[in-house]
Chain A
């Protein structure tokens, strides 16, 4: 019995050590954002102003929304490879129909969201990997976007343009938008009681099923939410750029995945963080600006962004591995 008591105190100690580790992990995304902002301030102090932040973070809003869409999908252990092309398609629809024929535009966008929900149902019911389904959808969205808008053009509806160029007092609009998005999604998925079920269905689907919840429903809800945020991302993008192009959101697929992971999410196991994902998306947006200020040629920027990603993930892996083990190693 003495050895048992010893073992349990040891475990208690390990649990104690675990808590700061989790906190460290949680602040890592914020830390990387702070570093990037500090870097920008160092190279160009004037950028940290109302106007400068507006300019730098404007295009961050659609990235944030696409990242949240991707996060919903990743929560239930799936991956959406089509989100970038979906955002492009939504952009084309917005630039062509939403201004001239709003009813048709809205019907199409609602239909798109329905298609996302259907995708979730198919993935669950037929047990097909989401990578296959969304890879197929990637080409569908791309094709549709080219059909809708063969040449760059179109025009954003005025109201959309006005929303995206809102002048909020004191705090720049992109920051207000990011905070609101993070708060709403955090409440919905981390704080609400059904949110716990949604995350649980990524952590241990069997357990959720055995407790009598429908796994079909959780999957459909998550894809539905992804569709909604994908549409919001496309709309906000067009509100900013005022005209569209069939490939306008193409880079968002990888950017959104990177944002989720950078923000502390895991590919499997239902471990995600909406606040982290928003911060991750903003970090990636600002990283490009920082590299510009550092006069790194655009040819190297993609590689430099990748390097940032690798550094942050390596730091996280180190934190994960550190813990009780490191004390005895060193």
Chain B
């Protein structure tokens, strides 16, 4: 291995596509010895995909990976470990049914034979002591019994443990998301110490303060590309926000701004996130399209599901006045019935009205589906065909037809337009607007700025709480990003 090479990692022109989605469109990334690189970007910018490729858990479609100056032909997880590349993944990679010491062993095949448990325990305990003094974790504890914060500490400490191969690069993907500010500070201080010893680090975080304070160089990604890379000192908070945000695609503004003044129509939904402690709540009136924004996984889906459940059973913190329908985000697992026909998939939510006597009438079902096919243009020769015969966008239209054809006056949308082509999107936006004019209420969780432009009102979520409440005229991409990334100073 070439110990003199200054560059630990050289990625050139890495490409990766998932189905129709281009996650990485030719990314170059260089990390040199003794450097901490901050990687930032909005949802779906490709950060995690890139790090998975670097850690060997995903194979790149094209491009070159070279570690320590040596080009890697068959790069794999095992190879990455051998070369000293470690990754702390966003979703934790510990086995809950093993003890802390056993989990440490998982990363070190060389710990074996008599006394391996003691050896592994000592290894992880020493690292925990070094990074998080007074951590209070026993190495014999079952990981599944520990709170999430401690698990994250274990995982981070484990990534820095050394047996045979020295650690050259540690990738930390949102390592502080479950740590309090005290522990996060200890971790970041350790990162600085580790890189002065000749290691390197890639830090992904949505806390821009951490990035600006603790990294040497910042790489900004957007839409699967690197859009800026510079010394950390050259960036400011504002510059980061604007570089991350400017949308490449042209905006599709609302065709009409003929909205009703807020408050003139009755309230349909009132809901408070479980973790909201300041009494703030989400309010949606009749005929409104309300957007739920913020980074992915910050409580938007949870709130939608709580509202959905409240329709069946009284739930604390949620008040709704009408029947509710939910359009799922993960079409394949939560949306369609893959063995059923298109007509059956559309009719299932309205089955009560499609009966003759006690039985479902296929006639009524087909007629019902036909009326929706014409209304929202589902492209199919026959509604009796299997739902999977439709393209992704048309499957999504069928799910919209299912919700809109029902008696539900409140429609919850859990980022339903993922992976749908732009033409279909525009049609569906129009459909949503016309349904809203007719008095339906929409709650729309979306990670795309373009879709928020269709909303009358936007709530921004962070860490399971509503942190901003923006009217249509106040809405700007910068504001949404600003509040999504705002530091949790007083927590």
State the A residues within 8 Å of B (CB): 1, 4, 11-12, 15, 18, 22, 191, 193-194, 196-197, 199-200, 202-204, 206-213, 269-271
Contact = CB atoms under 8 A, between A and B. Distances in A.
B360 interface: no
Interface residues of B, number: 36
Interface in B123-162: 136, 141-142, 144-147
Given A4-B180, A18-B145, A193 B95 contact: no
Interface string B206-234: 00000000000000000000000000000
A213 B106 contact: yes
B113 to A, nearest CB: 7
Interface of B: 55, 57, 76-78, 80-81, 87, 89, 92-98, 102-103, 105-107, 109, 111-113, 116-117, 136, 141-142, 144-147, 180, 182
Contact of A210 (B57, B109, B136, B145): B57
Nearest to A197: B106
Most buried by A among B98, B102, B103: B98
Contact of A193 (B57, B105, B145, B147): B105
- The B contact surface, by secondary structure, is loop
B95 A200 contact: yes
Nearest to B147: A11
Given A15-B146, A193-B116, A204 B180 contact: no
A15 B76 CA distance: 38
B98 A193 contact: no
Contacts of A270: 95, 97-98
A44 B147 CA distance: 50
Contacts, number: 81
Given A199-B97, A204-B94, A204-B96, A210 B102 contact: no
Most buried by A among B103, B111, B141: B103
A15 B180 contact: no
A129 B193 CA distance: 48
B97 A200 contact: yes
A211 B142 contact: no
Contacts of A194: 112
B77 A211 contact: yes
B102 A200 contact: yes
Contact of B98 (A1, A4, A191, A203): A203
Given A12-B136, A197-B106, A204-B94, A209 B113 contact: no
Nearest to A201: B95
A203 B96 contact: yes
Contacts of A212: 76-78, 80-81, 109
B89 A210 contact: yes
A202 B97 contact: yes
Given A15-B145, A211-B77, A213-B106, A193 B111 contact: yes
Nearest to B142: A22
B146 A207 contact: no
